[in-house]
Amino acid sequence: MKRPKILIVEDERKISRVLEIELDYENYETDVADNGKDALRLISEKEWDLVLLDIMIPELSGLEVLRRVRRTDEHTPVILLTARDEIHDKVSGLDLGANDYITKPFQIEELLARIRVHLRTPQVRKEAADLLTVGELSVNVSSREIIRDGKQIELTPREFDLLVYLLENKNIVLTRDQLIEQVWGFDYYGDTNVVDVYIRYLRQKIDKGFESPYIQTIRGVGYTIKELDK
């Protein structure tokens, strides 16, 4: 049976080592990151069944790591670990998409119980949520497979991220600034015309050769992807 994979993001070595030992004993596969940048790298490189994320870590805070992860991954369970017992931190974490939190010091039995709860979510629910569609166009977020009317389409990573965000907000008009922030990142300082360039790339691959386009320009506002009128 496959061992569930858990990423431990914790800069206090004694705590992360105890968590490694306990989780290994419970038959979980683990890896450790001790700062926010390494956490983001590991999260992007591998698939995880659950992430234990300390809020107070160097490089990038746990909340910032969570915010960036939730741009593209709404499903992997994240449990926040924090030494702070402040309502503000807990509310902020939950608002950003954390599934749960536990305040240090904690009993390992309680943490293990919470981990079991969040790993119990049926995989079929995640797979269904991973499939984004509009008309004859479907995108499987996990496998990155894109099909329109039976034809498989290949996209670059940035084109894929842009298409996914448009589909997640189907029928909603998105401004260039919104697309820049969500697809390129809040710290992107380039020209917003890059959005127009990538929309053109997407149209060449998604809409060209088909009778009606899904990607629509809303003059003076931005772009949307919408169901075609029948």
- When pLDDT is cut at 50, 70 and 90, the band that residue 189 belongs to is low
Nearest to 56 by CA among 77, 76, 75, 39: 39
Angstrom distance (rounded) from CA 131 to CA 143: 10
Q: Nearest to residue 162, comparing CAs of 184, 146, 130, 140?
A: 184
Q: How confident is the model at residue 190 (pLDDT cuts 50, 70, 90)?
A: low
CATH 1.10.10.10 for domain 130-225, yes or no, is: yes
- CATH T-level assignment (fold) for domain 5-123: Rossmann fold (3.40.50)
CA–CA dist 99, 164 (Å, integer)? 22
Q: Which of 45, 116, 42 is nearest to 79 (CA)?
A: 116
Angle of helix 13-25 relative to helix 108-119, nearest 10 degrees?
60
Q: Using an 8 Å Cβ cutoff, are 33 and 8 in contact?
A: yes
- 3-state SS string over 106-165? CCHHHHHHHHHHHHCCCHHHHHHHCEEEECCEEEECCCCEEEECCEEECCCHHHHHHHHH
Cβ(32)–Cβ(16) under 8 Å? yes
In terms of DSSP bridges, do strands 5-9 and 50-54 run parallel, antiparallel, or are they unpaired?
Answer: parallel
Q: Where are the domains of the chain?
A: 5-123, 130-225
- pLDDT, mean of residues 20-24: 94
| DSSP helix/strand/coil, 222 | strand
Q: Specify the pTM.
A: 0.54
Least confident of 30-39, 104-113, 197-206: 104-113
Examine the pLDDT at 129 and tell me if it is beyond 60: no
Residues facing residue 6 across a β-bridge = 30, 50
**DSSP class of residue 135?**
T
42-83: per-residue pLDDT in tens?
998 888 999 999 998 999 898 999 999 988 888 889 999 887
